[in-house]
Amino acid sequence: MTTSTDKAAAVGDGSLRLRAPEHRLERRVVWFWAVHSLLGWLAFAAAQAVWMLLRDDGPVEWHEWGLILTAALGAVHVVVMPPWRYRVHRWETTPEAIYTQTGWFVEERRIAPVSRVQTVDSERGPLERLFKLTNVTATTASAAGPIKIHGLDHATGERLVADITAAAQASRGDAT
């Protein structure tokens, strides 16, 4: 686990403070996000094309314009979103807490005290395996839901799961 002396220091009443995490995701996540979003746009465009080809009620001009608009929006999304998200997404763990920062239009920072961690999971889909990435989820006793760190190098993700699990076991809280 990464320790930062004054960054994670207790403030006034002894609570941890919300702050920007230190670590970036694995750089390969930019290509993962680009391919993932491209696949989604291609599926949408394919559905539009099939609908356009199978219909038999008049001119296809509106469908063609819809397909052109889909291609344009998809291209902008695939090019702009991945590097933008990469600049925003951060993560960090300390013996006391897990910090995350996510988003691209709406930025969200979260902190979860390790004493509140109930489970720690890792997940890798086929596309993540192709890019050698791992996603880590720490479920806490929070109404805001679990803390998720997507796009870690596989070895880093596995080490992070072990570190968070060990820190949670060593914590004196009851995770509620």
In eight-state DSSP terms, residue 131 is T
Question: What separation in angstroms does the CA of 153 have from each of 11, 156, 157?
Answer: 32, 5, 6
Compute the Cα dihedral for 175, 124, 19, 5 and give only its sign: positive
Which of 172, 155, 12 shows the shortest CA–CA distance to 95?
Answer: 172
Is residue 63 over pLDDT 90? no
User: Do 110 and 131 contact (CB within 8 A), yes or no?
Assistant: no
Q: What is the pLDDT of residues 110-148, one digit of tens each?
A: 999 998 899 999 999 999 999 999 999 999 888 888 999
Confidence of residue 173 (pLDDT cuts 50, 70, 90): low
Is residue 99 over pLDDT 90? yes
Give, in degrees to the nearest 5, the angle at Cα 76 between 152 and 80: 35
Strands (E), 32-106: 90-93, 97-102
Is residue 8 over pLDDT 60? no
Q: How far apart are CA 32 and CA 106, in angstroms?
A: 21
What is the pTM assigned to this prediction?
0.82
Percent of the chain past pLDDT 90, that is, above it, reads 61
Q: How far apart are CA 162 and CA 123, in angstroms?
A: 14
Confidence of residue 13 (pLDDT cuts 50, 70, 90): very low
The pLDDT of 152-175, averaged and rounded, is 88
Q: Any residues with CB less than 8 A from the CB of 92 and at least 6 apart, and which?
A: 2, 4, 21, 22, 23, 98, 99
Q: How many CB atoms lie within 10 A of CB 159?
A: 15
Tokens of 105: 């239009």
Q: How far apart are CA 140 and CA 112, in angstroms?
A: 7
Q: What is the pLDDT of residues 19-57, one digit of tens each?
A: 789 999 999 999 999 999 999 999 999 998 888 888 766
